[in-house]
Amino acid sequence: MIGADAATYGAKELERRPPLLTRRIAWFLVCSVASFVSFYLLLAVVPLYASGGDENSVAAGLTTGVMMFATVLTELITPGVLTRFGYRLGLAAGIILLGAPGLLLPLSDGLPLILGVSLARGAGLAIVVVAGTALAAALSPAGRRGEMLGLYGLAVSLPAITGLPAGVWLSERFGFTAVFLLAAMVTPVALAIVPMLPNYRPEAEPGSHNVLVALRSASVARQMAIFGATTVAAGVFVTFLPIAVEGDTSRVAALALLAQTAASTVSRWVTGRAGDRYGAARLLVPSMALTALGAACLIAIDSPLAVIGGMALFGFGYGGAQNVTLALMFDRASPHEIGKVSALWNLVFDGGMGLGAVGFGYLTVVTGYPWGFASVALILAAAVVVSIVDRRREHVTAAIPAPAV
């Protein structure tokens, strides 16, 4: 009877939960989808364009690395920018920087121009992701933050499901210029939605605008380290998978990227719902284990089944890790640090992708792709160990009774 009563109480609590998809949240999600279309269309195409078709892995890695370097630097100041100018103006600037510079790429295939465009797009990406993540947390109904973060993850992942593989396929079928123009055409669509958003201007947080102060929490720092391992791997895969399987099996890269993005999209949504009900911390270790297993499959880079299946496994783990680490960082930080936590999480996301792209480019010159992917799997395996340590420490901390007053 006790179990039945608990189940009845839980069902009533679910019925009383506030609605998730309100009008302002719907506009926010539509804007998020539109903002990321151009980003994902070009994410794997620009490295291919820079490599010149001759497997120049250093040039390919630099395009992603430079973009993410600009993103990381801009993310350090974005919370202060949003506080000063508000979300509407900030998002508009970010959307323009993210999409419009791609119009310059057809003018030259020289590396300096490509890197310059990558710098501008990186700055725009920083503004869009920091503002979007903070808005997702701020707009979350009570008790539904994990689910809201999952819904936001779904919105930003939908462009990836079609954009990543479509960009590679379209560039092979119609040429690079067609993809560059298509990506730029989405920018006005996203800008038209910005006026529909609430013109939030977050209050200035106490103390410095330095986002790194959130690292004072050891728990937040551990989440950053764990999530950072997955973003390093993601930067490697999105940059080098189309190059590693280039040739007669080039379609395998598009299918593998599709499998990864589709799996991560589903996983972010499912993990968010499950995290609100059962606790996000329980889902961290299984998510990280899937990323390590998926990366290990790519050692057999000549096997289409291993590549596609491995990327699907990595995607399921990656999506779960995205939702869980972000939810735990928000839960373990003070209310005044939401903007800084958003910037930190996105800093790790983008910095890890850039570090993975640049580092792997130089690594494969010595090791080749199979051993390079093996090293990525080892990094993720180490992150699984850190996840286990984090789970145990937080469990012990929660079990310590509060001191008597």
Helices in 175-303 by DSSP H: which ranges? 176-185, 187-193, 218-244, 250-278, 284-297
In this predicted structure, the answer to whether residue 204 has a pLDDT above a threshold of 60 is: no
**Top-tier CATH class for 24-199+209-399:** mainly alpha
Instruction: Out of 38-47, 118-127, 258-267, give the one with best mean pLDDT.
Output: 118-127
CA distances from 103 to 96, 254, 303 (A): 11, 24, 37
pLDDT of residue 403: 40
What tens digit of pLDDT does each residue of 20-45 get?
A: 677 888 888 888 888 898 888 888 88
Q: What integer is the mean pLDDT of 176-196?
A: 89
| Structure-block tokens of residue 404 | 């008597």
Residue count of the chain, please give it. 405
Average pLDDT of span 54-78: 80
pLDDT at 285 over 70: yes
Dihedral angle over CA of 238, 77, 87, 216, nearest 10? 90
Question: What is the domain partition of the chain in residue ranges?
Answer: 24-199+209-399
Q: The pTM is what?
A: 0.70
Would you state the pLDDT for residue 395?
A: 56
Res 120: pLDDT: 94
- Average pLDDT for 173-184: 89
Q: How confident is the model at residue 404 (pLDDT cuts 50, 70, 90)?
A: very low
Give the model's pLDDT for residue 250: 59
Half-sphere exposure of 404 (CA within 13 A, CB side): 0
More confident residue, 261 or 298: 298
